[in-house]
Structure 1
Amino acid sequence: MKGSPRDEAVRLVEACRREVAERLQEVDELALANQRRVLEALWAERVTASDLQGSTGYGYGDEGRDKLERVYARVFGAEAALVRPQVVSGTHALRLGLFGVLRPGDHLVFATGAPYDTLEAVVGLRPAPGSLAEWGVSHTVVPLADGGSVDLDGVRAALTPRTRAVFFQRSRGYSDRRALSVAELEVSFRALRAERADLVLMVDNCYGEFVEDREPTHAGADLVMGSLIKNPGAGIAPTGGYVAGRAEWVARAADQLTAPGLGAEAGPSLGVLRLLYQGLFLAPHTVAQALKGSILAARVLECLGLEVSPRWQEPRADLILAARFGDPDRLLAFCQAVQGAAPVDASARLEAAPMAGYEDQVVMAAGTFIQGGSLELSADAPMRPPYIGYLQGGLTFEHVVIALEEIARAYLEGASAAARTAGTTPEPKPANAPGKR
């Protein structure tokens, strides 16, 4: 006998949870390896309680800040790192790296297709004052090959004598493609190094930190950049971003953040060092919680009839789960269900709206403790065909389980209402539905 939509939703999520149990155990092993890497970096730098205090004003002589950056460098397998609360977003971190490396007359190649929406104005793909294009830096976008891999022949063909840097975006962003693993990036790095040893290999690392047991800098990237209100801040860093890689390029990024001649010497930590240290310490575990939630969500949404990427059995290279809706109303309803399961602003009514940095209207389900903190459970999407929603985060696996129950309940209630109108009876696909790989 069938129960209420809520009862059906709970049963569905529990059945899916049993089905993906082996994959969840694999993520626990990953978390252990990454936790060891972070702890060993903290031990090597001899972090003490006094390092957590921070500085004001100019920030000169802030040993706790400088030590945190050395810890990050060790964790990322890099020569140096810049980790600052003055970096307001991943886009800001990317801008620091790009403007640090590139000079007027240089040429930049995007090896993974068009960059994330908010970077378009930075580069000049969309006209904007102060863009790289306005400063005389040209660019070429090389689409990914069939299957979503880097088109190395296309990248090689795009290189010119003026090409200074090749840029890789690890995550799918708002594009309909898979994320790239560190191993895949390493193949590209080696091929391009053999072609041109002078190229600067840059990686947008947002959503990828601690999803694997290596970072792109371990595999040969010259510079990686990301946000502390995503993976490495573990949901408790109140703001900030990082740049890590070769010391020369990190120093140039620091000059962009402050001023030439000041670089990393200036910049107060403003009382947030404890949260930044603690966030990094917690990041391997918290990212694993979100990663397990993403695997379970993939199976649950698939059972509800949605096309998702990546599927639950497939390897992960970032935290983002894409679900194809094909209809703006269905996409908005999904985001509303995610918002309704949030710990903050659960009663908010969502609407798509213009947002700084985006060309399309965007809907964002983000009932988060940190504004924009997308390691917390959130969903967002540009309102454009084919109307794909992007789900990420979850500070605890338990929250994701409960949220998926609410999402499934809302879906089943909506499907039941539609079926009553059409005179049919909907059935979710069972958790052991044929066709899964």
Structure 2
Amino acid sequence: MAVFSEEIVGWLEEAERKADSKFREIDSIVDRNQWKVIEAFQKHQVSDFHFAGSTGYAYNDRGREVLDLVYADVFGAEAALVRPHFASGTHTIATALFGVLRPGDRLLYITGRPYDTLHKVIGKPSDGTGSLQDFGIHYDEVMLLEDGTVDWDAVKVKMKSETKVIGIQRSRGYEWRDSFSVEQIGEMVRRVKEINPNVIVFVDNCYGEFTELQEPTEVGADLVAGSLIKNPGGGIAETGGYIAGREHLVQLSAYRLTAPGIGGEVGAMLGTTRGIYQGLFLAPTLVGQAVKGSVLAAAVFERAGFQSRPKWNDHRSDLIQAISFSGSQQLIAFVQGIQRAAAVDGHVVPEPWDMPGYEHPVIMAAGTFIQGGSLELSADAPIRDPYIAYMQGGLTYSHVKFGLLTALQTMKDRELL
């Protein structure tokens, strides 16, 4: 049985007491989202025969077809494309963007530079990689103001007549800023549509699903995308992603995933269907567990003298808890402590490495049942100044508690606390 110092245990117990009202607020969101998912299952009469696998072309796979309908209802969208064939969130986002953009079109991100793994998707003109810019799609971005809000003066300048898609990243990524709430995204949609009512608003929804009562498609976003090994997979889905939104845009995305004229009509599920359904059913509750864990992390690390964002009692629109450290050794000790608390690979000691798709060495705690499954307790950080670790997930609140105690004890044992 792990032994933790009385001081650290005291900090955690104090943090739990302080956050009790926030936990009740999260429980209310869980209930509403859980009921919404169940009602979507009931509406489409989900039965055990829908869980059967399919092979080959998988024409008329009714389980796959109903899964799309259920996701569309849950996200308040006209249509959805839910597939194990998406290799990652980045792949899913890239599929959506390539699906709706054409040579000569413009993509404008209004929430700053997107997450590191999208940089190579955007690429550079004539880079020879098949990136967006290699295909003649123009890209620009508007950096956020110092207070983390959208620079609307710059947006008005940079929105050209050729601007086809406005990109919004809901989560903070590797930035010391707040995530955008669904309400804020709705306001972004309203303002860009005032400038150009025909522009497509795309939202990278990763880490945000079920943290609030609505999704971006319910406040006007035309297209959203996310990963099944994050929130909506409920810790059960083994791989995959989803795209949801306006029907013709989802169809264009499906043509990019498979081929024009084929779209979402084919694609063997190969035994993944049950896990994707069950993961969606579990997702609201497990997201709630993870959000509670993030609240606790903020409260206990604030008690220990560290800066966190969001603070324990702030509004939350994603899973991620950012914690600021004074140097690389503190950051590394924290991430290694999270790994030590894992049920899977708890004996492994993560070290910074040059991870594909990232621009700086990255350290990752990822003791997960699903490789890269960030609804499970995990933490990662680029080794760069400022030294900020990004913790997310936790299938059970109890596991997050254990992880926080272990991380704090690791730092204390190394005289870094």
**Which TM-score tier does this pair reach, normalised by the shorter chain?**
over 0.9
Give the CA RMSD over aligned residues: 1.3
**TM-score of the pair, normalised by structure 1:** 0.93
Q: Map 1:193-208; keep pairs closer than 5 Å.
A: 193-208=193-208
Q: Percent identity?
A: 49
Specify the alignment match of 1:422 in structure 2. Answer: none
Matched residue SS, 1:36? helix
Q: 1:414 to 1:5 in 2, by over 3 A?
A: farther
Asked whether the equivalents of residues 4 and 405 of structure 2 are also in contact (C-alpha less than 8 Å), the reply is no
Specify the alignment match of 2:181 in structure 1. Answer: 181
Cα deviation per residue 1:380-431 (whole Å; 9 max; x = unaligned)?
Answer: 011111121100000000111121121222233333xx6xxxxxxx7xxxxx
Matched, 1:122 2:117: no
Post-superposition shift, 1:204? 0.2
Specify the alignment match of 1:433 in structure 2. Answer: none
Matched residue SS, 2:166? strand
Matched, 1:408 2:400: no
Post-superposition shift, 1:120? 0.4
Post-superposition shift, 1:5? 5.0
Distance 2:69 2:32 in 1: 20
Cα deviation per residue 1:342-392 (whole Å; 9 max; x = unaligned)?
Answer: 111111011111111112111100000000000000000111111211000
Name which one, 1 or 2, has greater alpha-carbon Rg.
1
Specify the alignment match of 1:234 in structure 2. Answer: 234
Asked whether the equivalents of residues 36 and 74 of structure 2 are also in contact (C-alpha less than 8 Å), the reply is yes
Q: Which amino acid in structure 1 is aligned with residue 209 of structure 2?
A: E
Distance 1:169 1:155 in 2: 15
Specify the alignment match of 1:111 in structure 2. Answer: 110
Post-superposition shift, 1:54? 2.2
Distance 1:296 1:175 in 2: 21
Asked whether the equivalents of residues 326 and 385 of structure 1 are also in contact (C-alpha less than 8 Å), the reply is no
Specify the alignment match of 2:9 in structure 1. Answer: 10
Structure 1 runs of 4+ with >4 Å offset: 125-128
Distance 1:329 1:407 in 2: 13
Specify the alignment match of 1:74 in structure 2. Answer: 73
Matched, 1:351 2:351: yes
Distance 1:265 1:404 in 2: 46
Kindly tell me the number of residue pairs found equivalent between the two proteins: 414
Matched residue SS, 1:345? coil
Distance 1:312 1:128 in 2: 46
Cα deviation per residue 1:271-323 (whole Å; 9 max; x = unaligned)?
Answer: 11110000000000000000000000101111122111000010101110111
Distance 1:170 1:378 in 2: 19
Distance 1:276 1:186 in 2: 28
**TM-score of the pair, normalised by structure 2:** 0.97
Matched residue SS, 2:133? coil
Larger CA deviation: 128-137 vs 147-156: 147-156
Cα deviation per residue 1:40-72 (whole Å; 9 max; x = unaligned)?
Answer: 111111101100112111111101001001000
Matched residue SS, 1:91? helix
Q: Map 1:234-383; keep pairs closer than 5 Å.
A: 234-383=234-383
Please list every run of 5 or more consecutive structure 1 residues that lacks an aligned counterpart in the other structure: 419-425, 427-437
Asked whether the equivalents of residues 84 and 240 of structure 1 are also in contact (C-alpha less than 8 Å), the reply is yes
Specify the alignment match of 1:169 in structure 2. Answer: 169
Q: Which amino acid in structure 2 is aligned with residue 52 of structure 1?
A: F
Distance 2:356 2:242 in 1: 21
Q: Which amino acid in structure 2 is aligned with residue 175 of structure 1?
A: E
